[in-house]
Chain A
Amino acid sequence: MSRLIDVENLKVSYHSGGRVTEAVRGVSFYLQPGETLAIVGESGSGKTTLASALLGLLPLTARIDDGRLAVAGQDISHASERSKQRLRGRVVGLVPQDPMVSLNPTLSIGRQIGESLVLRHGKRYPGLDADVVELLQQVGLDDPALRATQYPHELSGGMRQRVLIAIALAGEPQLIIADEPTSALDVTVQKRILDHLEQLVKARGIALVIITHDLGVAADRADRVLVMRQGEVVESGAARQVLSAPAHPYTRELLAAAPAFGATPRPLPVALAGKQPLLRFDGVGKVFSLPQGRSFQALQALDLAVYPGQTLAIVGESGSGKSTSLRIALGLEQPSSGRVHFAGQDIGTLNWKQFRPLRQRMQLVQQNPFAALDPRFSIYQSVVEPLVSFGLLKGRELEQAARRLMEQVQLPASYLDRLPRELSGGQRQRVAIARALALQPDLLLLDEPVSALDVSVQAQILDLLRELQAELGVAYVLVSHDLAVVASLAHQVVVLKQGQVVEQGEARQVLEQPRELYTRELLEAVPGRRLAVA
């Protein structure tokens, strides 16, 4: 059988602004028809460049310096635009990363799928509309005839992802490249869609290349795995083998950092004897009123208690109400029913001015480290801002406090002079944590603190948070959709679904012996469990 993809010693570099960046350095691999290959790597590994090269979509600033890149027997490393165009859609299909922005907002679904079908057949043909509806049905959309007339913004994320799969299948390709298929949607939704994709692909004998940073996905779905780092392939082989007995130290590092595989460090137990809860929700509910007299119930009868030095994790998918509960705790929203107590004080009815003194004891670390720091503030200014706002320290003492905070988050003091754009995502998150600790709060609220970061960086930040809790005795309320993150930090877990509590209790019990069906669904949807459990 001839190979579908044959890459030999490929070298790709980017030339812009007088600088040359080597993205791919001498990569070689192959793909047989009908196989599933996972290319695993973190940001900067070159996997995205590789995917673009396979599609013939490298930007003008990129250059193939050396090597051979053959798709379906044709060498496209120096081919004309026309020949590359002929391969796209008909031989190589793409399922893009983020379904929310990958569809043209001004064209109907039917027309966008129709385009691919027309390209396949060479021109418009009478059965086009019927074929569109048939395809929509195959990818699992309800009421396909209606969906074909709708526009992307009328569909949910999961539905849009299915439409993108339909577009890729419409071209009847021999190979589909799935770019980061697990990053944009809820875990349970992702799992269902990927299962379905696997089915469709196997049924038609289409080869699948999965580009991902998530080893779990590679473990679950790939026949073979390619691990990339900084433009080079560090390891490749059968999935089972690479993941159970990795040869290269980097692969071992990735495995150790991925919570589904490595020995997940657990939080240290905290003595509770006779302590009062720091934060308590008693039957808290929140209803948002909508235009035209309707209302939306974000939370219903939520009870929880956070004890000093402990971590409570609130787990749920989008729409579960977890962000709303954080906002209520912070005083950004007021509960519609029930009571919220902080250190014994009822905070549910306080206005902003009354709440302000409490802010010294309760701080927030936000989700997106790339927007959490004012781009014009130096790190020093960002970190000490809470101290300045409350007028607690001045001059020399302020500088000392800044140095001390940087030490706590394990960043060198020289970074205090820098601007946020000079720091990486992980470093910025550390700065955000330092800023949150400036006032020496008793409670830290963490909103998806590591979801925007690379796997290995995630592990570092989680380690840092664990150490800080042990050192400073800070309590955490952690909101996350990622059960692996939760497992590494939480003492108590609350599982939410559409505003209601599904299950809550000790972390160990909820995560290892869940009682409710939904919790079990969530656990099963975590990629990598198949291989880990085996």
Chain B
Amino acid sequence: MSRYLLGRIAQAVLVLWGAYSITYFILYLLPGDPLSIMLSASGMEIDALSPEQLAKARSYYGLDQGLIERYFDLLWGVLQGDLGQSLTLDRPVTEILAERLPQTLALAGLAIALSLVGGVGLAYLAAYVRWQPLKVFLARLPALGFAVPVFWMGLLLIQVFAFGLGWFPATGSAGFDSLVLPALTLAIPSAAVYAQVLQRGFQDVWREPYIVTAWAKGLSRAQVQARHAFRNAALPLLTLVGLQVGNTVSGAVLVETIFARNGVGRLVQEAVLRQDIPLVLAVVTVSAAAFVLVNLLVDLLYPILDPRITHAPKVS
């Protein structure tokens, strides 16, 4: 078991390193002169500088080094916790992230909780009711959730609940009240995915022979669904939660922009607008790290839910 654990951790680190490297190369390798990008990000025009100033700038940004040399330099810095200096805000990136990350984590946390409750609840209900029209309606609802863009939904919710009914504030980062609408908006796409997958799961599991065995014991419909169907249909959900981390982060960028919240999402949006390369690189790396970590946890938790998975070498 511990051999498996070590292997998985090594794999996770490898993936994280790969993600960092790819992002690095995209940002520094693709067309566009990094120097002029960085200069304009800092508010200077490349043409306005003399050759000596350009040379100084180049060495300041580390652009006088070769691509590979700079890569290892930066990587070394990351391993020591130094994520570089933001060009636009002129502060260490680590500091900026430490300030803004808690906001985003709170948003993401609430959103994930809401999406699980909503998604699982919807699918459970859809499987339980027997009245066809309601059942069909509940089954179609997730499809709607897939089709709705996060940013539009946010605007709609603002229109109805903030401007229309006045229950929640439309923007801002202060207090729990302001967290509700953004979390709800962020939760909807994930909830749709969970509901859809769980519904499919129920459909498949309901036809399995062990469900017939459960019926034959004399259990009621509710008991069969809860004890036998749900336990098996919900297995893929854990993996999904891991995969949805990426979508949640992406959604957070849009949601924080609409609701004008001080999180990492809005930070990266501004950073991209102003081509602040170190900041973008840092945020992408942190998200990748979150993804890798959550998926590692999911992998390790799986045997608890599904006794067939043991992480030991199999004999066929």
A-side contacts of B221, CB under 8 Å? 81
Q: Does B231 contact A (CB under 8 A)?
A: yes
A86 in contact with B218 given A101-B210, A106-B231 (CB within 8 Å): yes
Distance of A533 from chain B, by nearest CB (Å): 35
Interface SS, B side: helix
Let me know if A119 and B218 touch, CB within 8 A.
yes
Let me know if B307 and A105 touch, CB within 8 A.
yes
A89 in contact with B217 given A151-B307, A153-B308, A292-B313 (CB within 8 Å): yes
A-side contacts of B219, CB under 8 Å? 85, 89, 115, 119
Q: Does A102 contact B (CB under 8 A)?
A: yes
A-side contacts of B156, CB under 8 Å? none
Nearest A residue to B306 by beta-carbon distance?
Answer: A106
Let me know if B213 and A171 touch, CB within 8 A.
no
Q: Does B14 contact A (CB under 8 A)?
A: no
Residue interface bits A465-494, CB-to-B below 8 A is 1, else 0: 000000000000000000000000000000
The number of chain A residues touching the other chain, given as a range, is 35 or more
Segment of A90-98, A200-208, A371-379, A386-394 in the binding face: A90-98
Q: Does A53 contact B (CB under 8 A)?
A: no
Let me know if A104 and B218 touch, CB within 8 A.
no
Distance of B88 from chain A, by nearest CB (Å): 52
Q: How far is the CA of A296 from the CA of B220 in the complex (A)?
A: 46
Nearest A residue to B231 by beta-carbon distance?
Answer: A106
The number of chain B residues touching the other chain, given as a range, is 20 to 34
Let me know if A88 and B215 touch, CB within 8 A.
yes
Distance of B117 from chain A, by nearest CB (Å): 22
Which residues of B approach A to under 8 Å, CB–CB?
208-210, 212-221, 227-228, 231-232, 235, 305-308, 313-315
B-side contacts of A93, CB under 8 Å? 216
Q: How far is the CA of A297 from the CA of B307 in the complex (A)?
A: 29
A96 in contact with B212 given A104-B228, A104-B232 (CB within 8 Å): yes
A104 in contact with B214 given A119-B219, A290-B315 (CB within 8 Å): yes
Please list 7 pairs of residues, one from A and one from B, whose beta carbons are closer than 8 Å in the complex, sorted by A's number.
A55-B215, A85-B218, A88-B215, A104-B214, A104-B228, A105-B306, A164-B213
Q: Does A457 contact B (CB under 8 A)?
A: no
Let me know if B216 and A89 touch, CB within 8 A.
yes
B-side contacts of A168, CB under 8 Å? 216
Q: Does A57 contact B (CB under 8 A)?
A: yes
B-side contacts of A116, CB under 8 Å? 217-218
**CB under 8 Å from chain B, chain A span 300-358:** none
A-side contacts of B231, CB under 8 Å? 104, 106-107
Let me know if A153 and B307 touch, CB within 8 A.
yes
Distance of B28 from chain A, by nearest CB (Å): 43
Let me know if B213 and A89 touch, CB within 8 A.
no
Contacting residue for A94 out of B213, B232, B306, B313, CB 8 A: B213
**Beyond A85-B218, A96-B216, A103-B213, 12 additional pairs, beta carbon < 8 A:** A57-B215, A57-B216, A81-B221, A88-B216, A90-B218, A96-B213, A104-B210, A105-B232, A105-B307, A115-B214, A171-B217, A296-B315
